[in-house]
């Protein structure tokens, strides 16, 4: 399908309060709504980012805020812990994240990352919010942590609601299937459109639509044909279009299914 999307579609993860949107944030939001988006999940990476995300969500009801301490910021846990918990206890956020493990960079030690990750997983259960998971070069370690946590807490948001999402999922199809079985949604980013990204494309072909999200991670990871430029929420339509082509189905089918999944996970109505 080459035409516009007519079904609801949601960007399940973006950073439009980042400095890259300082000059045209409102215009980028307007382009998103014009492209057919009905919601954007805006992620904060720390307390300051969480406050910015919430400020935007208060002003624009189609933006929903999540916040957490990114693994690259895990060294600041002691100084941010109290404020982060206070934010998440306000009832104004729809999720905890992005949180997890990132062994690609060394901005925090592995011990610091594990401590921050485990504390935030428990906090999510306490405040009854889903988690948004960041995992980079840490597939085995992230899975072990989440498997143990999920076994302990179960479907703490209810039997028909998932416990979280794997943001910018970069694992293989077998790992995706295990996460789906644990109660997670798999979020497909724009990198799935890149030539030669066979592993991501296999994930997008095989994960059930009922367990899939689409995201931009704007301003990063722009899909083709925008690769190499700043990403923005409107471009999530191109990712959904590519996924539909991979699966041999209609763009609107992917858009609607992934939008329904996002709304269910984060607890709001389309």
Domain boundaries, the chain: 9-266
Token pair for 268:
């709001």
- The predicted structure's pLDDT at residue 4: 84
Q: What is the pLDDT of residues 109-133, one digit of tens each?
A: 999 999 999 999 999 999 999 999 9
Q: Is the pLDDT of residue 210 over 80?
A: yes
Q: Is the pLDDT of residue 265 over 90?
A: yes
Q: Are 186 and 213 in contact (CB under 8 A)?
A: yes
Say which CATH class 9-266 falls into: alpha beta
Percent of the chain predicted with pLDDT > 90:
98
Q: How confident is the model at residue 2 (pLDDT cuts 50, 70, 90)?
A: low
- Looking from the CA of 206 toward its CB, the CA atoms found within 13 Å total 15
Q: Is the pLDDT of residue 9 over 90?
A: yes
Q: Is the pLDDT of residue 176 over 90?
A: yes
Separation between Cα atoms, residue 65 and residue 42, nearest integer Å: 5
Q: Taking phi first (over 0 means left), then psi (-120 to 50 degrees means alpha), and beta for anything else, what does residue 154 get?
A: left
Q: How confident is the model at residue 3 (pLDDT cuts 50, 70, 90)?
A: confident
Residues 159-173, mean pLDDT to the nearest whole number: 98
Token pair for 180:
């789906």
3-state secondary structure of 16: coil
Taking CA atoms, 36 is separated from 17, 94, 233, in Å, by 20, 22, 10
Q: Is the pLDDT of residue 178 over 80?
A: yes
Share the mean pLDDT of the chain: 98
Token pair for 222:
């722009």
Token pair for 177:
């299937």
Q: How confident is the model at residue 238 (pLDDT cuts 50, 70, 90)?
A: very high
Global model pTM greater than 0.95 = yes
- Looking from the CA of 59 toward its CB, the CA atoms found within 13 Å total 11
Q: Are 240 and 254 in contact (CB under 8 A)?
A: yes
Taking CA atoms, 79 is separated from 54, 67, 83, in Å, by 20, 16, 8
Q: How confident is the model at residue 106 (pLDDT cuts 50, 70, 90)?
A: confident
Q: Is the pLDDT of residue 1 over 60?
A: no
Residue 12, H or E segment? strand 9-14
Residue 165, H or E segment? strand 164-166
Buried b (16+ CB within 10 A) or exposed e, 107-138: ebeeebbbbbbebbbebbbebebbbbbbbbeb
């Amino acid at each position: 399908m080459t035409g516009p999307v007519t079904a609801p579609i949601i960007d399940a993860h973006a950073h439009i309060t980042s400095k890259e949107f300082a000059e045209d944030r409102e215009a980028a939001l307007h382009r998103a709504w014009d492209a057919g988006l009905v919601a954007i999940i805006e992620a904060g990476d720390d307390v300051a980012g969480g406050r910015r995300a919430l400020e935007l969500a208060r002003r624009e009801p189609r933006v929903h805020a999540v916040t957490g301490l990114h693994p690259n910021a895990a060294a600041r846990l002691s100084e941010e812990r109290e404020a982060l918990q206070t934010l998440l206890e306000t009832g104004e956020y729809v999720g905890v994240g992005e949180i997890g493990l990132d062994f690609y960079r060394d901005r925090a030690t592995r011990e610091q990352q594990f401590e921050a990750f485990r504390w935030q997983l428990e906090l999510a259960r306490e405040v009854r919010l889903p988690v948004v998971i960041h995992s980079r070069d840490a597939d085995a370690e992230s899975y072990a942590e989440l498997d143990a946590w999920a076994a302990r807490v179960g479907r703490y948001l209810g039997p028909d609601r998932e416990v979280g999402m794997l943001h910018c999922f970069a694992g293989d199809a077998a790992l995706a299937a295990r996460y789906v079985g644990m109660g997670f949604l798999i979020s497909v980013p724009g990198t799935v459109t890149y030539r030669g990204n066979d592993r991501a494309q296999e994930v997008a072909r095989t994960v059930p639509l009922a367990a899939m999200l689409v995201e931009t991670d704007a301003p990063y990871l722009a899909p083709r044909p925008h690769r190499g430029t700043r990403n923005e929420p409107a471009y999530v339509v191109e990712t959904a279009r590519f996924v539909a082509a991979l699966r041999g189905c209609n763009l609107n089918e992917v858009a609607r299914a992934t939008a329904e999944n996002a709304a269910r996970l984060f607890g709001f109505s389309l």
